[in-house]
Structure 1
């Protein structure tokens, strides 16, 4: 009744003031005002007789006066940002001060409540709550022992089974864990009905508060144990060890009990039967305890979380995301403790508005981070697993899978950047730092978003065209499908691929810039002027391109040809519009710009000849030597080289007389590039036939002549003449 009277007085003080400011005063209201004022003054006098009531009225009047002053100040002048900050800090300080001052009134209110007329009722309520609490917790404790044994039995029987059996075991364990809670809650309700109001069966508000709090808290604990499974690692969902599961189960169960039983049972009981101030003090004590527990958990897991984040940084050190995670790994515990302290202060200052806002913003940020991590992980797994091309596609396009795999890191990096941007925007929206929803709904936001999406679409289309072009060139150059490409086709297709890539890069870049609002006309004009300047300043470069263009038009050489250009000879490995890459017989690669090429000698054009210039001694019968050479050619045509020979042996006869030999020349016509292999085999057969028929191939020789002569003293001297 005392609390009801206080509420009526506060209502009577505040409501007339608000109505007086909002509505004009009418004549009937003015006629009834003296009677209302007399009744209100009498009620105030009665309440002021009580010291606690007098203190409460003084506090209400002071708050009402301060509110009137604030509202009048707001109506007369516009508040600046500094004034708003000052008002907020003043309100926060007043809230904290009121919470601290209320602690001093708790003892007096409790003492008056216990010594007053309601002490017997309070003892009765307490006794009924104790009986119901003993019933539900006693039944729960008795039923938990067999439930734990049955749950362990179910988990042990399916240890190491497949996911379906594992899910069945998990469901059975959850049901077994849930049954004791339901039975204990039902037993508590039965006892409450039997003892309610002397067995009348009419329940008050106190026992249902305890029963509902018990059901809510224990159901949350069942769900928590279903996720962590601290006693049954075989059916645990999360990938964690037994120590971690038991650790988090210990702390979460105590936090759930503290929060649930306090705010769903203890606080309403105290506010109804003892004192509102005491209930508020208990709330402050519980929130302080929760903050302390959170700080302890953060400090206990400081090193573990730091090691986990450091491992992520080491794994992704080359990416920009690692630079964001690195300071978070070092100082995350400081940020967490600061956040918990700010949350506690905000709750003390304005629990009705600040706390729900902070909690809602935090939950939204956590959900955004979790969703982003899951999306990035799913896309990474999908991309890595989805790039296994069929075997027939690999045979036709052997480089396609490798080309796609080369773009996987870039795609994943783009996905990570998009996910990070989404998380930042969601956090900014949740904490009211940036109204992204309002901005994207506006005309400017839609225009910007459309421009970015259009630019990304242009880049994606350009990438698809590049992959398609490269794949077509690769398929056309594959000798296992279709017609075998010639050297000229290989050269032209390679040049087309390079030119197409450069063209795509230029056009896609220009179109993407145009989509995001960049005026590309000055860029095109600048590119023209820059190209003209480069043309004048880089004459050698222009000469390379012009000479290379004419070489390509005249089809002088292609990839795979054996040429001599710029003083180097070898196989053409790469041919561009500006230079040619030649690898010589020793394996050295020479890059020769076309401006330094005066002439090109191609040994692989249309056909080739093996020119055999064979030396025989002067005393050799030339007809026998020619027949031996023709017989060697016949032996050559019996080997696999006959497929590379294009015509009969051309016998030219004697072409030169040397000091010690006569040169007999013959020529074998072959396919381009086959003259060297066929020529080596032909030389071997010539040597073999010459040896069989005694035909001598001359080589430098030394002939020694000896003579005897007499010197003046009669001695004999040998002399030697070398020829």
Structure 2
């Protein structure tokens, strides 16, 4: 706020004088004499200074001193204004309450005096009744005729539409939209008797105006009271459909629907009766005090009815709210449990406060302030219907009966409920005369309210986007019958890629939300973005290895070279099961337990032992005189045994078979190769079992594995003595045979 020239000049002069006085008090004269005491110094007023003195005073202050002192003074004045505003608000509230109490006290005293002296109203009553041309009997007969005309017209309209009502209440199918269409149509049909009653009443009254006398003025009160209350009861009956469960659009049980409609109907009837009775007082000359008291008593009776009904239905309110909020079962969230537990108490407190608010305004001004109390209550009763409407819209948008569609339905159903709750808060505040949006985003809105509104919207949108990400990148998978292999492969790929994508999207979302929140809080994010760009360039030059690892990992994942849970081999020493994949490296779990972390940039080739199928070959070194045909038959029989085995059989894709003589070893041993085709990673177990079984079968049929031997030929006559073979130990032979059986050939 800018100060005027004179105010600024005076302010600066005053501050300058204070600074000079403090400076002078802290200094001493060259002769060591202190200045005179403050009380001995003459006081100087700003108005006593000449322009030259003012200039001399200001010349001693620096710009920094002036700015600092001006800032402190402006803050002090701002604090004083805020305190004054708070004090004014509190004072205004107290004054308003005191004024209301005084007005109500005075009006109650006047009403009590008027009721105590009703005998003084004989003359106005006689004058009012004297307007009837045929006396009191004719007036009553005419009023009865008007009422009967309206009732007869309504009865004829109801009789004419009875077949329509019966057809609309018997749905052809159980679809939601069919129920909505029939409910709306049935409501319009049931309003036909109300319209007929209104038309007949308004038409009949002028015909007997002379006989009605003063009751001519009462006809509009009667017509408005009956028509509005009747129409509201029709609206309640169609909203909760206690008589037509087949087309009920509110997600309520039959008992809950009948109970709620019964309470609403009784409350409307009490209010209408109070309105009709109160209208007789001014019409017949009794004055307004009896009418005002009657309406106050009727409104109090309605509030008492609702409060007692809430007390009696404490548990049922919780159960009904739980059935509506949980929507086809499920575990309630913490917020849902709090709302369900606190709903009856909050409803009761609201009814009490709404009754006090309405009664105070009615007693003070005689005006019906019903938009806030009654409108909010109607809004609360409409929330289950609107919630069911949103649920049906979401179900129609995602019709597929799949887990993915179910997750998206849950996300959008939650978003609908969130929007419904926010809209209900704004509408309820508007009904009470408070425009929340204008307070937050209007021309005169406070900066903190504007920022808080933007922050709330940003966080809600971020929450919705994150829920969508979680629904789209859900890791749970279910394999369909006959598709186990494809589902397992797809699931393994999802387990590899989903965490990376989810973390990446979460990082981007957090950064974007943080920038928006800072911008909403008034922080200039332009320098932050520029600094982030410069830092990014610097980091890019200094982290080339990291960038190489990230890009290499991205291409490995795009190529689907490996997945989490697969057994891979990078070289002779680096092998193991892929345990985790990060943005720059992977972790292998060696079969001995060690965890090996390898950056993607260091990967050259990857041998994957988990894809589709594996052909495993085993070499057996047999004696030179072994019959290959016999070996082939034995291998085939063993292959049949393994295929029929309950544990090992499902692991085979093609059974064990012999490929015949693969080669002749240097020491005249026959190398016979067998092979089998199996599922990935099953070869390690199968080769062990196959080797043990074949060794047993070969031994049973007199077929022996060849032993390694070395022939030593002496320098003498080779024919004089046969060469003496040097045989290895049995353990060495068995170990060599095992190595031969386990080789890939």
TM-score bin (small chain): 0.5 to 0.7
Query: Could you tell me how far apart the structure 2 residues matched to 1:578 and 1:448 are?
Result: 41
Query: Could you tell me how far apart the structure 2 residues matched to 1:382 and 1:305 are?
Result: 31
Instruction: For residue 290 of structure 1, report the CA deviation from its aligned partner.
Output: 2.4
Instruction: For residue 510 of structure 1, report the CA deviation from its aligned partner.
Output: 0.9
Q: Who is 2:283 aligned against?
A: 269
Q: Who is 2:100 aligned against?
A: 92
2:333 maps to 1:318: yes
Instruction: For residue 297 of structure 1, report the CA deviation from its aligned partner.
Output: 3.5
Query: Which SS does the other structure have where 1:160 is aligned?
Result: coil
Query: Which SS does the other structure have where 2:316 is aligned?
Result: helix
Query: Could you tell me how far apart the structure 2 residues matched to 1:249 and 1:459 are?
Result: 38
Instruction: For residue 106 of structure 1, report the CA deviation from its aligned partner.
Output: 2.3
Compared with structure 1, are the counterparts of its residues 562 and 82 closer, same or farther at alpha carbon in structure 2 (3 Å cutoff)?
closer
What is the correspondence of 1:682-701 to structure 2 with a 5 Å cutoff?
Answer: 695=703
Compared with structure 1, are the counterparts of its residues 380 and 364 closer, same or farther at alpha carbon in structure 2 (3 Å cutoff)?
same
Instruction: For residue 456 of structure 1, report the CA deviation from its aligned partner.
Output: 6.6
Q: Who is 1:344 aligned against?
A: 359
Query: Which SS does the other structure have where 2:371 is aligned?
Result: helix
Residue by residue, what CA displacement relative to the aligned partner does 1:511-562 show, whole Å, maximum 9, x if unpaired? 2210221669889999x99xxxxxxxxxxxx9xx99x98xx89x99865337
What is the correspondence of 1:268-287 to structure 2 with a 5 Å cutoff?
Answer: 268-270=282-284, 274=285, 276=287, 279-287=288-296
Compared with structure 1, are the counterparts of its residues 436 and 187 closer, same or farther at alpha carbon in structure 2 (3 Å cutoff)?
closer
What is the correspondence of 1:423-442 to structure 2 with a 5 Å cutoff?
Answer: 423-431=424-432, 435-442=436-443
2:300 maps to 1:296: no
Q: Who is 1:63 aligned against?
A: none
Which among 250, 254, 259 is matched to residue 269 of structure 2?
254
Query: Could you tell me how far apart the structure 2 residues matched to 1:491 and 1:282 are?
Result: 78
Instruction: For residue 232 of structure 1, report the CA deviation from its aligned partner.
Output: 5.4
Query: Could you tell me how far apart the structure 2 residues matched to 1:460 and 1:626 are?
Result: 70
2:230 maps to 1:218: no
Instruction: For residue 340 of structure 1, report the CA deviation from its aligned partner.
Output: 1.3
Checking the alignment, whether the CA contact within 8 Å between 1:614 and 1:665 is kept in structure 2 is: yes
Compared with structure 1, are the counterparts of its residues 624 and 232 closer, same or farther at alpha carbon in structure 2 (3 Å cutoff)?
closer
2:624 maps to 1:610: no
Instruction: For residue 500 of structure 1, report the CA deviation from its aligned partner.
Output: 3.6
2:150 maps to 1:135: no
Q: Who is 2:734 aligned against?
A: none
2:662 maps to 1:650: yes
Query: Which SS does the other structure have where 1:610 is aligned?
Result: strand
Query: Which segment is superposed worse, 574-583 or 209-218?
Result: 574-583
Checking the alignment, whether the CA contact within 8 Å between 1:564 and 1:601 is kept in structure 2 is: yes
Residue by residue, what CA displacement relative to the aligned partner does 1:149-206 show, whole Å, maximum 9, x if unpaired? 777777567763438896677665554576466546645543x14xx27xxxxx86x2
Query: Could you tell me how far apart the structure 1 residues matched to 2:242 and 2:597 are?
Result: 77
Query: Could you tell me how far apart the structure 1 residues matched to 2:340 and 2:375 are?
Result: 20
Checking the alignment, whether the CA contact within 8 Å between 1:305 and 1:329 is kept in structure 2 is: yes
Checking the alignment, whether the CA contact within 8 Å between 2:615 and 2:676 is kept in structure 1 is: yes
Which among 88, 107, 112 is matched to residue 80 of structure 1?
88
Compared with structure 1, are the counterparts of its residues 105 and 322 closer, same or farther at alpha carbon in structure 2 (3 Å cutoff)?
same
Query: Could you tell me how far apart the structure 1 residues matched to 2:114 and 2:275 are?
Result: 23
Query: Could you tell me how far apart the structure 1 residues matched to 2:705 and 2:128 are?
Result: 138
Which among 650, 662, 672 is matched to residue 666 of structure 1?
672
Aligned length: 552
Q: Which has the larger radius of gyration?
A: 1
Compared with structure 1, are the counterparts of its residues 648 and 490 closer, same or farther at alpha carbon in structure 2 (3 Å cutoff)?
farther
Query: Could you tell me how far apart the structure 1 residues matched to 2:626 and 2:360 are?
Result: 117
Instruction: For residue 231 of structure 1, report the CA deviation from its aligned partner.
Output: 9.8
Checking the alignment, whether the CA contact within 8 Å between 2:221 and 2:276 is kept in structure 1 is: yes
Instruction: For residue 363 of structure 1, report the CA deviation from its aligned partner.
Output: 4.9
Query: Which SS does the other structure have where 2:566 is aligned?
Result: coil
Query: Which SS does the other structure have where 2:626 is aligned?
Result: helix
Question: Unpaired runs of 5+ in structure 1?
Answer: 1-76, 198-202, 391-400, 530-541, 616-620, 657-662, 699-723
Compared with structure 1, are the counterparts of its residues 569 and 140 closer, same or farther at alpha carbon in structure 2 (3 Å cutoff)?
same
Instruction: For residue 299 of structure 1, report the CA deviation from its aligned partner.
Output: 0.5
Query: Could you tell me how far apart the structure 2 residues matched to 1:83 and 1:457 are?
Result: 40
Query: Could you tell me how far apart the structure 2 residues matched to 1:159 and 1:556 are?
Result: 63
Compared with structure 1, are the counterparts of its residues 170 and 449 closer, same or farther at alpha carbon in structure 2 (3 Å cutoff)?
closer
Which among 544, 562, 567 is matched to residue 561 of structure 1?
567
Instruction: For residue 509 of structure 1, report the CA deviation from its aligned partner.
Output: 0.9
Query: Could you tell me how far apart the structure 2 residues matched to 1:524 and 1:328 are?
Result: 50
Question: Unpaired runs of 5+ in structure 2?
Answer: 1-83, 520-524, 536-545, 599-604, 644-651, 707-745
Checking the alignment, whether the CA contact within 8 Å between 2:568 and 2:576 is kept in structure 1 is: yes
Compared with structure 1, are the counterparts of its residues 121 and 409 closer, same or farther at alpha carbon in structure 2 (3 Å cutoff)?
closer
Query: Which SS does the other structure have where 1:317 is aligned?
Result: coil
Instruction: For residue 291 of structure 1, report the CA deviation from its aligned partner.
Output: 0.7
Compared with structure 1, are the counterparts of its residues 495 and 349 closer, same or farther at alpha carbon in structure 2 (3 Å cutoff)?
same
Query: Could you tell me how far apart the structure 1 residues matched to 2:242 and 2:409 are?
Result: 41
Compared with structure 1, are the counterparts of its residues 214 and 594 closer, same or farther at alpha carbon in structure 2 (3 Å cutoff)?
same
Compared with structure 1, are the counterparts of its residues 127 and 515 closer, same or farther at alpha carbon in structure 2 (3 Å cutoff)?
same
Which among 385, 389, 396 is matched to residue 378 of structure 1?
389
Instruction: For residue 321 of structure 1, report the CA deviation from its aligned partner.
Output: 4.1
Query: Could you tell me how far apart the structure 1 residues matched to 2:333 and 2:355 are?
Result: 33
Instruction: For residue 637 of structure 1, report the CA deviation from its aligned partner.
Output: 11
Instruction: For residue 336 of structure 1, report the CA deviation from its aligned partner.
Output: 1.5
Query: Which segment is superposed worse, 114-123 or 406-415?
Result: 114-123
Compared with structure 1, are the counterparts of its residues 625 and 450 closer, same or farther at alpha carbon in structure 2 (3 Å cutoff)?
same
Residue by residue, what CA displacement relative to the aligned partner does 1:282-331 show, whole Å, maximum 9, x if unpaired? 21233123212321342034232542235535847314243244223245
Residue by residue, what CA displacement relative to the aligned partner does 1:660-679 show, whole Å, maximum 9, x if unpaired? xxx86534477786856689
Question: TM-score w.r.t. structure 2 length?
Answer: 0.56
2:193 maps to 1:162: no
What is the correspondence of 1:219-238 to structure 2 with a 5 Å cutoff?
Answer: 219-226=227-234, 227-228=236-237, 233=244
Checking the alignment, whether the CA contact within 8 Å between 1:466 and 1:504 is kept in structure 2 is: no
Query: Could you tell me how far apart the structure 2 residues matched to 1:268 and 1:149 are?
Result: 37
Query: Which SS does the other structure have where 1:360 is aligned?
Result: coil
Which among 307, 313, 322 is matched to residue 316 of structure 2?
307
Query: Which SS does the other structure have where 1:517 is aligned?
Result: helix
RMSD of equivalent CA atoms:
6.1
Query: Could you tell me how far apart the structure 2 residues matched to 1:228 and 1:427 are?
Result: 23
Checking the alignment, whether the CA contact within 8 Å between 2:158 and 2:192 is kept in structure 1 is: no
Checking the alignment, whether the CA contact within 8 Å between 2:233 and 2:264 is kept in structure 1 is: yes
Compared with structure 1, are the counterparts of its residues 97 and 566 closer, same or farther at alpha carbon in structure 2 (3 Å cutoff)?
farther
Compared with structure 1, are the counterparts of its residues 504 and 281 closer, same or farther at alpha carbon in structure 2 (3 Å cutoff)?
same
Query: Which SS does the other structure have where 1:162 is aligned?
Result: coil
Q: Who is 2:372 aligned against?
A: 361
